[in-house]
Amino acid sequence: MEKIELKDAFAEFKNQKNIDRPTMMGVLEDVFRTQITKTYGSADNFDIIINIDKGDCEIYWNREVVEEVEDPNTQISLEDLEDDDYEIGETFAKKIELKDFGRRGILNIRQNLQGRIMDIEKANLYNKYVGKIGEIFTGEVYQTWAKEVLILDEDGNELRLPKSEQIPGEHFKKNDTVRAIIKSVEMKNNTTPYIVLSRTTPEFLEKLFEQEVPEIYDGLITIKKVVRVPGERAKVAVESYDERIDPIGACIGVKGSRIIGIVRELRNENIDVLQWTSNTQLLIQRALSPAKISSIIIGGEDEKIKVYMLPDEVKKGIGKGGCNIRLAGMLVGKEIEVWRELPKVDEEEEEDVLLSEFSNEIDTWIIEKLQAIGCDTAKSVLALSAADIAKRADLEDETVAEILEILRAEFEDEE
């Protein structure tokens, strides 16, 4: 430590920690000044000369030559000088060796230097990835745990992919290559920056389209909005300002050549690409396609949008587990309710009855559950099997049996 090979130390830190020359010299000078202050009380009258190329450091203690010493840190008497060439008022510079700091002082220098280097490394890593938030990152899986996956970049830095940011059902193993978006970078308790990746955000899907579709990357096609239920379904609304470019066809590619890679990356997530419009009704129609909509009622700001469909179209509009209707709502920014519209019947045919008419006999929350699966009339419920109603509306078998009995009784009474 007494000879501290600064040249070798600098080369190591520069190559491995990416610390530039001015920063390294500044850190070294600051570390030595801190120790000088602890040892001598002040570092104002000390010169520190650092030569990175030669790998050495020289420290000089400057004191004024006086007859009578009042401040030993800044003054020295002629009697204490071995050299007779000095006169009163001149400055005497003494070279300080590292051993003059003592073993404890040398240890403090080493620890302080290591701590400063670590702080710079953390700051560099933080700044590097903060500037990349929202970009796609590709790395290799180093280790997997139940709650997250540890991924390393090319410099060996650690990034985390939490379970909550993974597509449901996907599993990773060591050495797998993973693509994800950089979601956030946080400093926790002055530790190494915690870098979080995500594969479930709409932004990740948007970036994948930018990579696969040159027209999007070049700005000829704009992605207006992306909504996802990760692992299930996604809707991407696109717009082209050039009438000669078909935005949907460009995104899908010839025979699906462009979108197929994105679908595989997202573990076969179904992706609907549709043309953006500022007309809410038209956007809903496009979002719920291929289901045909009879009419749409858009209420106030806080009111739900009501979409009416014929019974045969309801299932297509709602989608598996209600995924399609939920995504359509996310796309327009409001919740959408599907209402079953009864086809016109002859006067001789038996009339249907709205479920809301049974509020005195059937609990309101049960009626709402039935309406949520597209059954808003008595006959629409009776048209389904008891098992189907129980499964889709998440109701007990006994509850379903009571509902069916009440509804059948309505029509039996009329007869």
pLDDT > 90? residue 369: no
- With 70 as the cut, is the pLDDT of residue 15 above it? no
pLDDT band at 140 (very low <50, low <70, confident <90, very high): very high
Percentage of the chain modeled with pLDDT above 90: 46
Question: Residue 408 pLDDT > 50, yes or no?
Answer: yes
Q: Is the pLDDT of residue 1 over 50?
A: no
Please state, rounded to an integer, the average pLDDT across all residues of the chain. Answer: 87
Q: Which residues contact 175 (CB under 8 A, 6 or more apart)?
A: 140, 141
The answer to whether residue 47 scores a pLDDT higher than 50 is: yes
Closest by CA to 298, choosing from 333, 341, 340, 342, is 333
Q: Which of 264, 269, 185, 261 is nearest to 226 (CA)?
A: 269
Tokens representing residue 40 in the block: 């001598």
Lowest mean pLDDT among 32-36, 185-189, 234-238, 307-311: 185-189
pLDDT digits (tens, 9 = 90+) for 74-121: 999 888 887 668 888 889 988 888 888 888 888 888 888 888 888 888
Write down the pLDDT at residue 349: 47
* pTM confidence score: 0.68
- The highest-confidence range among 104-118, 169-183, 291-305, 332-346, by mean pLDDT, is 169-183
Architecture of domain 131-198: Beta Barrel (2.40)
pLDDT band (50, 70, 90) for residue 6 = low
φ, ψ at 222 (rounded to 5°): -110, 135
Residue 139 has pLDDT above 60, yes or no: yes
Kindly state the average pLDDT of the residues 171-189.
Answer: 92
CATH class in words for 6-129: alpha beta
Statement: residue 324 has pLDDT above 50: yes
Among residues 372, 371, 347, the alpha carbon closest in space to that of 358 is found at: 371
Query: Is 273's pLDDT higher than 60?
Result: yes
Distance between CA 137 and CA 314 in Å, rounded? 40
**pLDDT on residue 249:** 94
Overall average pLDDT of the 304-310 stretch: 91
- Residue 206's pLDDT band (cuts 50, 70, 90): very high
What pLDDT, in 10s, does the model give residues 49-61?
887 666 678 899 9
Q: Taking CA 163 as the corner, what is the angle to CA 161 and CA 164, rounded to the nearest 5 degrees?
A: 100
Q: What is the mean pLDDT of residues 156-169?
A: 94
| Predicted pLDDT at 8 | 55
User: Where do the DSSP E strands lie in 134-264?
Assistant: 136-144, 148-152, 158-162, 177-186, 194-198, 221-229, 233-240
The percent helix, strand, coil of the chain (3-state, each to 5) is: 40, 25, 35
pLDDT at 342: 65
Question: CATH class for domain 277-341?
Answer: alpha beta
